[in-house]
């Protein structure tokens, strides 16, 4: 397959106004200027197209009408397929706080999709988080930090768990961090009211450390009271952690998204969706784990009779988030693509295989129109038609 158009490669070729991406199998064999390509050259596209690395979403609870925390095997396939068809070639399935037995059952359901390559792994968002910043987590399923339970879950999952969200103030935090580091699992910090000192300590404890959806489910920035967010912004600015950013216009204002790109840099940010079952679906009633959710005007909230429930995940795809980051927040395309591909690939320890367009990398490719609307998705060199 030979693709021609504007290429945002994030490799030595850089951003090419007229570039070619070529592959005949699961790996890329040429990425560079069209004028230097040796082979059968396709004509320039009649309408402008943009060729990007496949998008990587490390925090997603579902989509297409199905949620990873509550659906069956067919629903897992449908949710993952929904996101792949919209440009996400590497997707981590996020769960919510649950009992050990419930999490084991979820591991069993998600396992086949991970083993087949449809999913890249599991993210446990909880249950070792703060009840004071629980967001859309069932308070009855939030637990004090239990290193033995975490170790059992990691062992049961057999390497399929790739990240775990933990609040720095939970019981036995250091022991939890040690368990994750020993297993090469990302320690993601969030859903927290930790003070500054404890937060700084936590951000130095992991094998790799991320911040679960920056600004959300944590105290607001307070210039006379340094807190978790203060520590997270500083650590991301230094490159010590990767901060997740939900740039969907709901979780963060567009100006806030532009601010974090300008101050922290794309190499330290990972664009995520935090999508739940309603992504790509009409307004209505849904579930997120054990909780009821209502979606109104595309905004998902926990069901409350007065309509004032907490935001409960997102309804955007990764390509929606990328498009909004560029056209509404005004972030440079290369920077936005870095945060949507290269940075999350590095966070997962997969930067040598995915997250950029370079010869020898996986042929995970997204072709869009000039508005960044997906046209064609390739996974391991195979077009995705779902």
85 is an annotated ligand-binding site residue? no
Q: Within a 13 Å sphere around the CA of 267, how many CA atoms are in the beta-carbon half?
A: 6
Q: For residue 11, give every residue at least 6 positions away whose Cβ sits within 8 Å of its Cβ, in sequence order, or none.
A: 31, 356, 357, 358
pTM for the predicted model, two decimal places: 0.97
Is there a catalytic annotation at residue 115? Answer: no
Q: Identify the three-state secondary structure at position 364.
A: coil
CA distance linking residue 274 with residue 61, whole number of Å: 6
Alpha helices in 32-99 (DSSP H): 73-84
Q: How far is CA 266 from CA 220, 242, 318, 343, in A?
A: 22, 10, 16, 7
Residue-wise pLDDT tens digits, 218-251: 999 999 999 999 999 999 999 999 999 999 999 9
Ranges of the chain with pLDDT below 70: 307, 386
The pLDDT score that the predictor gives to residue 44 is 87
311 is an annotated ligand-binding site residue? yes
217 is an annotated ligand-binding site residue? yes
Neighbours of 371 (CB within 10 A): 10
In 3D space, the residue among 288, 279, 266 whose CA is nearest the CA of residue 345 turns out to be 266
Phi and psi of 266, rounded to 5°?
-65, -25
Q: Identify the three-state secondary structure at position 356.
A: coil
Neighbours of 238 (CB within 10 A): 11
385 is an annotated ligand-binding site residue? no
* Choice among 57, 146, 274, 320 that is catalytic: 274
Q: β-strand 15-23 against 28-33: which pairing, if any?
A: antiparallel
Phi and psi of 244, rounded to 5°?
-70, 140
The pLDDT score that the predictor gives to residue 306 is 75
The pLDDT score that the predictor gives to residue 386 is 47
The pLDDT score that the predictor gives to residue 49 is 97
Domain definitions of the chain by residue range: 2-51+368-384, 55-354
The pLDDT score that the predictor gives to residue 304 is 84
CA distance linking residue 82 with residue 324, whole number of Å: 19
Radius of gyration of the chain, Cα coordinates, nearest whole angstrom: 20
191 is an annotated ligand-binding site residue? yes
Class level of CATH domain 55-354: alpha beta
Residue-wise pLDDT tens digits, 135-182: 889 999 999 999 999 999 999 999 999 999 999 999 999 999 999 999
Contact 59, 86 (CB under 8 A): no
Contact 371, 298 (CB under 8 A): no
277 is an annotated ligand-binding site residue? no
226 is an annotated ligand-binding site residue? no
């Amino acid at each position: 397959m030979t693709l021609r158009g504007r290429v945002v490669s994030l490799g030595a070729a850089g951003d090419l106004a007229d570039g070619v991406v070529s592959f005949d199998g699961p790996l890329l064999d040429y990425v560079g200027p069209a004028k230097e390509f040796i082979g059968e050259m396709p004509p320039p596209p009649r309408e402008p197209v943009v060729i990007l690395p496949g998008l990587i979403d490390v925090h997603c609870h579902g989509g297409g009408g199905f949620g990873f925390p509550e659906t069956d095997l067919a629903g897992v396939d449908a949710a993952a397929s929904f996101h792949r068809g919209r440009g996400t070639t590497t997707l981590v399935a996020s769960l919510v706080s649950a009992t050990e037995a419930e999490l084991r059952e979820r591991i069993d359901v998600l396992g086949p999709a991970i083993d087949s390559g449809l999913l890249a792994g599991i993210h446990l968002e909880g249950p070792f988080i703060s009840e004071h910043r629980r967001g859309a987590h069932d308070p009855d399923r939030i637990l004090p930090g239990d290193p033995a339970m975490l170790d059992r879950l990691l062992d049961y999952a057999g390497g399929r768990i790739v990240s775990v969200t933990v609040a720095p103030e939970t019981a036995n935090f250091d022991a939890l961090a040690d368990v994750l580091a020993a297993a090469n699992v990302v320690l993601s910090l969030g859903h927290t009211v930790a003070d500054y000192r404890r937060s700084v300590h936590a951000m130095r404890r992991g094998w790799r450390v991320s911040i679960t959806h920056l600004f959300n489910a944590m105290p607001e920035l307070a210039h006379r009271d340094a807190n978790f967010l203060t520590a997270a912004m500083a650590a991301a600015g230094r490159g010590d952690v990767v901060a997740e950013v939900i740039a969907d216009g709901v979780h963060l204002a567009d100006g806030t998204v532009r601010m974090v790109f300008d101050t922290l840099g794309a190499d330290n940010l990972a664009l995520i969706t935090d999508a739940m079952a309603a992504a790509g679906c009409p307004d209505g009633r849904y579930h997120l784990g054990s909780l009821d959710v209502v979606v109104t005007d595309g905004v998902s909230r926990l069901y409350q009779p007065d309509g004032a429930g907490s935001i409960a995940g997102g309804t955007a795809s990764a390509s929606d988030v990328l498009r909004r980051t560029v056209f509404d927040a005004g972030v440079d395309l290369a920077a936005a693509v870095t945060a949507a591909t290269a940075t999350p690939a590095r966070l997962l320890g997969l930067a040598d295989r995915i997250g950029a367009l370079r010869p020898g990398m996986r042929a995970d490719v997204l072709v869009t129109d000039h508005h960044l609307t997906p046209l064609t998705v390739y996974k391991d060199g195979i077009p995705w038609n779902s």
